[in-house]
Amino acid sequence: MEQILGSSFKNFEAALDQPAPISIRLNSSKIFTEPDLPKVPWANNAFYLPERPQFTLDPLFHAGSYYVQEASSMFLEQALKQQVDLEQPLRVLDLCGAPGGKTTHLASLISEDSLLVANEVIKNRASILAENVAKWGSGNVVVTNNDPRQFSRLPDFFDLMVVDAPCSGEGMFRKDPQAVNEWSEENVKLCAQRQQRILMDVWEALKPGGLLVYSTCTWNESENEQNVAWLAEQENATSVKLELKPEWGIEASEYQGIEGYRFYPQQVKGEGFFMAVLRKTGDYEESIKGGRKKKYKVIIAGKKEQALVRSWFQYPDKFEWLQWGEIISAIPASQFEALDELYQNMHVIYAGTEVAEVKGKKLKPMHPLALSRHLNKNEFSIVDLELEQALKYLRKEDIALEGGGSDWVLLQYKQVPLGWAKQIGNRINNYYPKEWRIRMELPTELPEISVVK
């Protein structure tokens, strides 16, 4: 780092002893009022907090109203806004998606009729990714659990790829003491080799003319500029230059014709981060498939089942209604063919919005429907909860509601949906997902978390 930074190395060392900044990114489909907080300069709907609150005690956090994300990594937004036509339907891959920061960010940037594939190779982390995708509620995301090499089954499939590669974590030293303990020169070499394998494994799935955004949370050149230069040479790709504002404090780097962007804690309000963008050369020609009629793996729900749930969405004609077993899901109709190709070739664990479970002649609304941006609230009884009630609901405890009846009730906090309950007389059955419940004991006095109003 002394070789890279020169005279600013002492300031860099001092910055590593400072507290890590806390930043969030708002879900604009759920929060419509901008908070009175300092903004992250390179991303919309992103703000710094003065201190880290107990996010677990904020129902809006569990409702997907905002995501706690490191500010430097939000620079991804600039690559898309400067180099991609975000009005067009796109196929996007977030290769290393868990826990979901970049995935939910991408979902907020692309159009509703685009398709985002969020992948995670580790099974339990893929489940966490699927949970955060459902909470975000965009409805056009597919979560897969595959090794990068399996994406070679989808040649020329994606318009945009984001590879936030596993790395030696030097940029996390201030935030995560474990990253310091795990660091070694040997680990840096192993990470660089693994990153090269990952990049070559997925390159075939990128369309000619498509963009690859490569990022790490480390600083050494072997995992950053050198790896990107290696890929560009192997595949004859071209480096893409992004425009920076001087006040951002981002350091532009150049190595063998590769433009890189470095984030240092003494210059930006964020953690260590590196990003570079490559464009795949060549022209894309879409193949015309003829011959026998294609046999789809995705199953379209029957007309009777569709009729039961269509009114639960604001614009049902924009969606294709699928059924797996007893579960009815909705996906953007424009992406049906792409989704089927994913099911044919990849291990899909979550897709679109899970809407309902069919139980004989009755329907049980699924939790992701409550959190979906497409939910038609007019179809349901709604109850707004106070803070203590909301947290008890999120702990999957019994809560009392006024009135009676026997119907599904949409529970909200500050007008943001939290999930479902079934009212039976003067009691309710709590249908919050067991695996998502708050496990910590609630304090005697509950703090009012004021991250967003």
**191 catalytically annotated:** no
What is the reported pTM? 0.95
Cβ atoms of 102 and 162 within 8 Å: the answer is: yes
CB neighbourhood size of 101 (10 A)? 20
Rounded Cα distance between 210 and 221, Å, is 25
Residue type, 193: Q
User: Of 96, 167, 191, 217, which one is the catalytic site residue?
Assistant: 217
pLDDT at 292 over 70: no
Rounded Cα distance between 383 and 417, Å, is 9
> Is 120 flagged in the annotation as binding?
yes
User: What per-residue confidence (pLDDT) applies to 449?
Assistant: 79
Beta strands 381-384 and 22-26, pairing class: unpaired
Rounded Cα distance between 265 and 155, Å, is 39
> Is 164 flagged in the annotation as binding?
yes
User: What per-residue confidence (pLDDT) applies to 284?
Assistant: 65
The string of pLDDT tens digits covering residues 318-331 is 999 999 889 999 99
Per domain, the residue ranges of the chain are 2-20+70-280
pLDDT at 236 over 50: yes
pLDDT at 289 over 70: no
* Mean pLDDT, range 199-212, rounded to an integer: 97
Following CA atoms 171, 177, 179, 184 in sequence, which dihedral angle do they give, to the nearest 10 degrees? 110
Choose which CATH entry (2.30.110.10, 1.20.1260.10, 3.40.50.150, 3.40.47.10) describes domain 2-20+70-280. Answer: 3.40.50.150
Cβ atoms of 327 and 366 within 8 Å: the answer is: yes
Residue bearing the bigger pLDDT, 267 or 404: 267
> Is 283 flagged in the annotation as binding?
no
